[in-house]
Amino acid sequence: MFYIQLKDRRWNKPESPVNKAAFTCKPSAVEAINEKSSKFALIKTTEYIRNTQQACYLEFRLFS
């Protein structure tokens, strides 16, 4: 479900300090909502992958 939004994103993508320094004004409400939604999607996707990996590991140990 969230794969489409995150497929081109690297997990450990470093944030450049140049982009952070460029923003001196307060972000608009839409930008804040988009950033919040993006972070939420990333957290939930990471949690889903972690849970899937754990389930596969436990099932492998159970049936081997």
Query: Is the pLDDT at 37 greater than 90, yes or no?
Result: yes
Determine the residue type at 19: N
> Has residue 36 been placed in a domain?
yes
Q: pTM here?
A: 0.51
The confidence score (pLDDT) of residue 19 equals 57
> Has residue 35 been placed in a domain?
yes
Domains held by the chain: number: 1
Q: Are 42 and 6 in contact (CB under 8 A)?
A: yes
The whole-number average pLDDT for the span 22-39 is: 83
* Structural domain of 54: 28-64
| Highest-scoring range by mean pLDDT, 4-8, 16-20, 37-41 | 37-41
> Has residue 6 been placed in a domain?
no
